[in-house]
Amino acid sequence: MEPVRTLVSAAQSRLARQAFCSEWIRALVPLAILIAVLALISRVVGSWWPSMADSGKGLPIALAAALGLAAVWALIAARGGRLGALAAASILDQRLELRDRLSTAVALQARTDVFAKAAVEDGVRCARDPKVRERMSRALPYCAPRRWWIGPSVLGLAVVVWAFVPVASFSKEAAAESVALAAAKAVSNDVVTEVVKRIEQSPELSGTVAPTPTSGDAKIDPADEKSLTPDDIRRDAMRKVAQMERKLDEVLVGEQAQELSALKDALSRMDAPKEGPGSELAQSLKRGDMVAAKKALDQLKQDIETGQLDESTKKKLEEQLQDLAKQLSEAANSKDALERALAESGLDKNLANNPEALKRAAEAAKHLNAEQREALMQALKAQQGAAGKCQKLGEACGGMGKSAGGSGSSEDLKAGAKGGDMLSELESMEQMLQSASECKGSCTKANKALGDGMSGSCNGPGGTNRGRASGERAAPEATATGTKLRKEKVELQDGEVIARQLIEGPPVVGESKRTLERVAGDIGTGSEEATDDDPVPPRLQEAHQHYFGELKKRLEARMREAAPAKDADSAAPKPPSPAGGGA
Amino acid sequence: MGPAELILDSVESVRAACQEFRGSFAALRSEVAKSMVGQKEVVELTLIALVADGHVLLEGVPGLGKTLLVRSIAQSLGLSFSRIQFTPDLMPADITGTTVIAENEGHGGRRMVFRRGPVFAQILLADEINRATPKSQSALLEAMQERTVTVGGETMALDRPFLVLATQNPIEQEGTYALPEAQLDRFLLKVAVGDVDRGELTEILNRTTGPREQTPQCVLSTDQIAKAQQLARRIIIAPHVQDYAVRLVLATHPQGEFAPEGVSRLISAGSSPRGAQALVAAAKVRALLDGRHAVSTVDVASLVPAALRHRVVRSFEAEAEGITVDALLSRILEMTPKESQL
């Protein structure tokens, strides 16, 4: 019987696998139709429900769920409908035209009569036949069920719809929203591009300030791009512009700016001659106009080299340049800016003369935070840089003076040339700071323009008066509610306002009969109780004590004045004065 | 004294008995073929009915050799044979026999003596059975079912084997009486005798118009027939194959659970349980002839027309549409799955 069992078992397995495949494909049809319907719905409702329309998320999940569900269903159905040995043998008999030998053997295997045994032997002989085994795989082929193509086709259609059909926009609001989105993108792009272009005009700034592709605090996720609103686009652009503005701020208050500022501050205190060949240079330096200073220096250098100056002029020039060199050397030693910074930080301003001690003091100062310490160090560096530049300018002027007097060497003339380079450097630094300042202005304007276009602005679509920058007070707008105003007919009656009576009680009317003494007592007690219940802040304690102390003094003084009068009244009765006992 | 009991105590003895049966059957078939040309299916079905201990109704137009077939079988089996020519004036007593007054030869007294009719034979040829009135036709009922004849209150057993081979002309011919359903149900098989082809007709002419006709010889004894009948009854039918036969029979019932769609309205009455019995009994013999020890669905299906065609009554609709019973049965066979439903 074993050959029959083996053969039938193999047939059962093949039939079970075939049933699984058939059920899977069959179950896929309704699920595929469901996904197709969902795909269509997603195209319709996608404008209101962006996450559903997103093919990158919803589609793979839906496909995986459909295939998984179909597989689970097929597994359950195949297990539930698994054929028994008799049924499988019967199918095999019919397909192989075995005249029910196998199924009869399976059905009669337990019987012991001779005819049953003979029938079972027939089945066994049949099962042993190699041709039968060979034919079995052909008789039970794995074949797709009828109309197997429906499920995959519908599924493919759903994928195409989901992935390639655009989301429909049926409402005017959605259309307007998409137009607003496009406009916001265009405006934001234009504004940011303009600012970047403005920054890139200055080579010194473009490297440090212009945004890089990886810069930005928070970038918009491309997956969320479909769910963006115009405000989000503008907000993102504002973020970029603000970032550039912050960097520009850093440049404007940075080391170079401080250095230039310190230098100009030192130069401004020089005593510049108003006349003479060196006056132009001195005046330019005093004004802090590096361009004019360079021009004047170059002119003097040319005059000296060409020998166009007469002796008296040369002498005068030598004197003025030597004087300028002396003043510049003195300016190099000026540490006013650093001293101010030290004073603001609560440190001894004498530390400006000893950088090492300043560093140690700054590190040791517990009341300074890291940023303050860094600012101090920056001020120190700026002062040192400015001093160095002053020194070099002074040397250049000195050298030029010597050359003008004829006592100078070629080295002195070279020193004058170096002064020109120094001025060029300062000029470019000034220009950079000027550009940074202008760019910052552009950033501010750009942010304002972007902010004006947002929905909170009065210019934006559907905007309100909130956020108006003009400083005017926005007119109140009625809140849309279901409240209706109507005038009721009521009878007016004389009497107190009910609400006031309920809160304050009946109003006290008439002349006060309270004595000043009692009022003073109440004030004193009341102030003490109030102080106990709610402690007065330390900064107000003095004022508090002064106020109530003064009040008490005045009341006591008033009472002392009133007491003799009272005594006199008691001795000679007088009609009561309305103000006599009143507070 | 009944026939000897068939003793089979081993698989080998079963195989030997089956082998012997097939040899005998082949000999019988070839012996019949000596006088009967063609009609192999008719001959086989008739012999199957004989082994299954049932009766056969042969239907066909006159002159197709129906009577010759029956006579040949009787000669080949060496059984007693009688023939009744059914006519409209045939009386039941003409079939069963009658009681007559006879004189005692010794003392001259008279007594009532039963004179046996032609039914008292082992092979009875009821020729053109549908030409007699239903009253005369029903005279065969007891003999066919009970294998006994009751006359004048006395019941007499018929010799075994007892086989009625009735022939009938198609009912649409003039001067015929349709057999009542009860009578039809007694026939194990109804065999349609078809026309002969050119070759067969030529052979018939050669044999019958020549100098001498060949006469079949007896090749099977009564005991052998009885053993063959016992052997056939012991052939196994597996439950799922039997269930197939049951479903087929129930499919002929118009309101039955298994009635195929579209067939129900064409049938007014389905087969009786005798139809299922006939189907299985005949299928067992066919399995035996095929060298198997168990019945297959193919055996069952092959015998459906012969076993059920006289048991299914067409509806008026089917008659109006000209749909034959055989066509209905073919449709039922197509629509009833052979695979096990158990």
DSSP string computed for A84-108? PHHHHHHHHHHHHT-TTHHHHHHHH
The predicted pLDDT at position B249 comes to 92
More confident residue, A177 or A279: A279
Lowest mean pLDDT among A32-36, A419-423, A561-565, B275-279: A561-565
How far A5 CA sits from the closest chain B CA (Å)? 17
Q: What is the mean pLDDT of residues B267-295?
A: 90
Q: Do residue B209 and residue B307 come from a single domain? A: no
Q: Model confidence at A217, in pLDDT bands (50, 70, 90)?
A: very low
In a domain, B215, yes or no: yes
More confident residue, B178 or B212: B178
In a domain, B101, yes or no: no
In angstroms, the CA A208 to CA A243 distance is 12
**Does A45 have pLDDT greater than 80?**
no
The predicted pLDDT at position B282 comes to 93
In angstroms, the CA A282 to CA A264 distance is 13
Largest CA distance in chain B: 75
Asked if B238 lies within 8 A of A119 by C-beta distance, the reply is yes
The predicted pLDDT at position A475 comes to 60
In a domain, B141, yes or no: no
Q: Do residue B302 and residue B247 come from a single domain? A: yes
More confident residue, A567 or B199: B199
Q: Do residue B194 and residue B297 come from a single domain? A: no
Q: What is the mean pLDDT of residues A530-551?
A: 81
Give me the domain span that covers residue B218: 9-85+120-128+156-234
The predicted pLDDT at position B307 comes to 92
Q: Rg for chain A (alpha carbons), in Å? A: 49
Asked if B339 lies within 8 A of A91 by C-beta distance, the reply is yes
- Amino acid identity for residue B3 in this structure: P
- At B304, is the secondary structure helix, strand, or coil? helix
Residues 15-54 of B with CB under 8 A from A: 15
Q: Which of B20, B17, B34, B127 is nearest to B76 (CA)?
A: B34
Q: Which of B54, B44, B55 is nearest to B22 (CA)?
A: B44
> Best of B8, B14, B234, B236 to disrupt the A interface by mutation (most A CBs within 10 Å)?
B236
Q: Which of B304, B238, B179, B80 is nearest to A98 (CA)?
A: B238
- Asked if residues A296 and A281 have their Cβ atoms less than 8 Å apart, the reply is yes
**Does A459 have pLDDT greater than 60?**
no
Q: What is the mean pLDDT of residues B294-299?
A: 91
ipTM here: 0.81
Asked if B236 lies within 8 A of A115 by C-beta distance, the reply is yes
More confident residue, A404 or A429: A429
- At B290, is the secondary structure helix, strand, or coil? coil
Q: Do residue B249 and residue B337 come from a single domain? A: yes
Asked if B339 lies within 8 A of A115 by C-beta distance, the reply is no
Domain end point (choices B179, B212, B234)? B234
Q: Are strands B163-168 and B55-59 parallel, antiparallel or unpaired?
A: parallel
Q: Do residue B75 and residue B213 come from a single domain? A: yes
- At B98, is the secondary structure helix, strand, or coil? strand
In angstroms, the CA A280 to CA B177 distance is 153
Q: Nearest residue of B to residue A100 by CA position? A: B296
**Does A429 have pLDDT greater than 90?**
no
The predicted pLDDT at position A582 comes to 36
Q: Do residue B18 and residue B75 come from a single domain? A: yes
Q: Do residue B229 and residue B328 come from a single domain? A: no
- Sign of the alpha-carbon torsion through A552, A556, A561, A567: positive
Q: Is B135 on the interface with A (CB under 8 A)?
A: no
Q: Which of A97, A104, A121 sits opposite B238 (nearest CB)?
A: A104
Tell me the per-residue pLDDT of B154-164, one tens digit each, with 9 for 90 and over.
888 888 888 89
Structure tokens at A156: 């493919």
Q: Do residue B57 and residue B167 come from a single domain? A: yes
Q: Which of A313, A326, A325 is nearest to A406 (CA)?
A: A313
- At B60, is the secondary structure helix, strand, or coil? coil
In angstroms, the CA A234 to CA A242 distance is 12
Domain end point (choices B205, B234, B263)? B234
> Which chain A positions have a beta carbon within 8 Å of B8's beta carbon?
114-115
Q: Which of B234, B290, B298 sits opposite A115 (nearest CB)?
A: B234
Q: Model confidence at A174, in pLDDT bands (50, 70, 90)?
A: low
Q: Nearest residue of B to residue A86 by CA position? A: B340
**Does A52 have pLDDT greater than 70?**
no
- Asked if residues A416 and A297 have their Cβ atoms less than 8 Å apart, the reply is yes
Q: Which of B13, B238, B296 sits opposite A108 (nearest CB)?
A: B238
Q: What is the mean pLDDT of residues A118-142?
A: 84
- Expressed in angstroms, the distance from the first to the final Cα of chain B is 43
In angstroms, the CA B54 to CA B284 distance is 13
Q: CA dihedral in degrees (A452, A457, A459, A465; nearest 10)?
A: -140
**Does A335 have pLDDT greater than 80?**
no
Share of chain B above pLDDT 90, in %: 15
The predicted pLDDT at position A500 comes to 54
In a domain, B110, yes or no: no
How far A71 CA sits from the closest chain B CA (Å)? 27
Q: What is the mean pLDDT of residues A341-370?
A: 79
> Best of A4, A12, A86, A90 to disrupt the B interface by mutation (most B CBs within 10 Å)?
A90
Task: Tally the domains of chain B.
Answer: 2
Residues 22-41 of A with CB under 8 A from B: none
Q: Which of B126, B125, B128 is nearest to B171 (CA)?
A: B128
| Nearest-5° Cα angle at A31, A25 to A34 | 150
In a domain, B182, yes or no: yes
Q: Model confidence at A458, in pLDDT bands (50, 70, 90)?
A: very low
Q: Model confidence at A214, in pLDDT bands (50, 70, 90)?
A: very low
> Hey, how many other C-beta atoms are within 10 angstroms of the C-beta on A183?
14
Structure tokens at B11: 């698989």
Q: Nearest residue of B to residue A84 by CA position? A: B342
- At A54, is the secondary structure helix, strand, or coil? coil
Asked if B296 lies within 8 A of A100 by C-beta distance, the reply is yes
- At A272, is the secondary structure helix, strand, or coil? coil
The predicted pLDDT at position A493 comes to 62
Q: Do residue B184 and residue B253 come from a single domain? A: no
- Asked if residues B158 and B143 have their Cβ atoms less than 8 Å apart, the reply is yes
**Does A383 have pLDDT greater than 60?**
yes
Tell me the per-residue pLDDT of A197-212, one tens digit each, with 9 for 90 and over.
888 877 777 777 666 5
> Hey, how many other C-beta atoms are within 10 angstroms of the C-beta on A164?
8
> Which chain B positions have a beta carbon within 8 Å of A101's beta carbon?
292, 294, 296
Lowest mean pLDDT among A110-114, A447-451, A570-574, B60-64: A570-574
In a domain, B3, yes or no: no
Residues 66-105 of A with CB under 8 A from B: 86-87, 89-91, 93-94, 97, 99-101, 103-104
Q: What is the mean pLDDT of residues A66-86?
A: 84
In angstroms, the CA A346 to CA A361 distance is 11
> Which chain B positions have a beta carbon within 8 Å of A102's beta carbon?
none
Structure tokens at B290: 């095929």
In a domain, B135, yes or no: no
Q: Is B196 on the interface with A (CB under 8 A)?
A: no
Between A and B, how many residue pairs show a Cβ–Cβ distance under 8 A?
Answer: 76
Structure tokens at B166: 């009735």
Q: Model confidence at A579, in pLDDT bands (50, 70, 90)?
A: very low
CATH number, domain with residue B14: 3.40.50.300
CATH number, domain with residue B305: 1.10.8.80
Domain end point (choices B234, B259, B289)? B234
- Asked if residues B256 and A70 have their Cβ atoms less than 8 Å apart, the reply is no
Q: Do residue B292 and residue B321 come from a single domain? A: yes
Residues 273-302 of B with CB under 8 A from A: 290, 292-299
**Does A562 have pLDDT greater than 80?**
no
How far B15 CA sits from the closest chain A CA (Å)? 8
Q: Do residue B192 and residue B270 come from a single domain? A: no
Residue A575 phi/psi, 5-degree rounding, is -65, 140
Asked if B292 lies within 8 A of A122 by C-beta distance, the reply is yes
Share of chain A above pLDDT 70, in %: 78
Q: Do residue B75 and residue B179 come from a single domain? A: yes
The predicted pLDDT at position B246 comes to 93
